[in-house]
Structure formats: C-alpha cells, structure tokens
Structure 1
C-alpha cells in the first residue's frame, strides 16, 4: 500500500463527515504535487512510517520561508489518547526546524477536541475567523488560528 493510500485510510477513519474536514484523494494528490507541501506519516508507536508498517497518523504541511502550516492532522480513532498525536506533532516540529522554520501555524474549528493537545505543545491562539466552517447540517463555527515559535 502506498503512503497516499495509507494517508487516505487514516483520513477516512479519522474525520467525521459531519465536520466536513476530510480532503478528497485528488485534493491531497494536488497538494502533494506542489513543491512546498509534504506529508509525514507515523506508525502506532509514533515513529516515522517505514516500509511494511501501517500508518496510524499523519500531518499534511505547507512550507513557506521561515514558517510551516499544518493543513491537516489525523490519528486513527482506535489509537487516540495514547500520545500518538503528541508524537506526530513532535516529528513535525523537528522536520519544520530542519527546513529552517522559526514558526508554525494551524487553524481549527472552535469546538475541535484537539485544542488541549495543541495548547499543551505550545500553540497559542493568534486569530479568529467568525463563522468560517460549516457543518453538514449548516451550523456555522469559528476558525481559530494558532501559532507556535520553534
């Protein structure tokens, strides 16, 4: 199974359709085709994915001079609350530093339960977009932008 197949398998398991956050395979492929976008996949032990291992989580990242933005973060729901998200974020921070990033960003819906994790690794709210996200039922939710200095 290719890394893209594994990424999509985690995405399909991790994102509830109600929140309309999952990307399609073509959206991921098109993003990864750009030279400034990459994905990191990890196994159930929080280590970078190696051949033959099954992906348990991933981050999709966009890079710019001096900064990187988390576009998507996902962990297999069966493996949540075991430190895998934190391990995945630490892998991302190390990769971002190796690319010369001094700051990282992410944006999430206001009621995302990952808030505690993001704050615990040093992300701080820096902005809000009112009614940016729409659920499958049409409910409007704010987007919160977070930043972290590396």
Structure 2
C-alpha cells in the first residue's frame, strides 16, 4: 500500500484502497508479486518494497490489474524485471494471454511495448482529470505460443 500511495498520480484515480486490494486477494484468483530495491523478489519481510504487481486470472487469461514502482526507485530497471517475472509466471501457469488497460500517455506504455504488448482496444474518454478533461484508456494484450 505504501508503494500504491506514492506511485499513482492522484488526479487520475487509478490507485486502489486497502479494502479493494484485500477483497480482490480474498477472491482466490488474484495474485501479487513484490520487488525489493535491489531487484530481488520481496516476500514482504524487507524494510522497504520498491514495487508490485497484482493480477487476476480467469481460465487461461490473466489481467494485470495494478503495476507500480515507487518514484524513488524508477529508472533502475526494476519495472522491467518485475514485469518480466509477471509474464514468465503467467506463461508457466498455463496462461494463453495476458492483458492490461492503461491511461493513454502512461509512461509505462514504453515498458509494456518492450515486452511485446500490443494495443487491442480503446475506451474513449475513460479517465477524468481534475480540470474535467478526459483521457482514453487503452487495452493491450500479450499472447503466448504455448
């Protein structure tokens, strides 16, 4: 939750609250991964977590619900490592594809593209900014040849 509080710009309302996260994890088809500041897998027993992902699987598809690296740990390759771990584990768990939805112009879009995600859909004017303007949401997928 500490990473969530600092990683998502408040003006887009993308961060989840503690109740939303705990409810999702209790459903049984959601999972998460943590990364420490040194790039190792974080099992929640370190003094600080640098980033996390949370996903939901349904049948042979997995959706990346949340993905974040705390601002002070960005530009160190941690997002690349964490996303790679997520993708590898989805493939190992028998998923045929993973998908995500992101705000247009999200800087993480370059990271997703580098890992092979491609745009498959658009939700026009999905996000609202404080000034009332709207931003599209972009759906992306990565398919596996299992």
Global fold match (TM > 0.5): yes
**Alignment equivalent of 1:147, drawn from 132, 141, 144:** 141
Q: How many residues are treated as equivalent by the alignment? A: 143
Tell me the secondary structure at the aligned position of residue 73 of structure 1.
strand
Q: What is the TM-score with the length of structure 1 in the denominator?
A: 0.90
The alignment status of 1:137 with 2:141, answered yes or no, reads: no
Q: Aligned residue for 1:113?
A: 107
Q: Is the 8 A contact 2:34 2:44 kept in 1?
A: no
Q: What is the TM-score with the length of structure 2 in the denominator?
A: 0.93
Indicate the RMSD between aligned Cα atoms, in angstroms. Answer: 1.2
1:22-41 deviation per Cα after TM superposition (whole angstroms, max 9, x unaligned) = 11111111111111111111
Q: Is the 8 A contact 1:17 1:136 kept in 2?
A: no
Q: Aligned residue for 1:125?
A: 119
Q: Aligned residue for 1:5?
A: none
Q: Aligned residue for 2:8?
A: 15
- 4+ residue runs over 3 A deviation: none
Structure 2 spans left out of the alignment, 5+ residues = none
Measure, in 1, the Cα distance between the counterparts of 2:72 and 2:44: 21
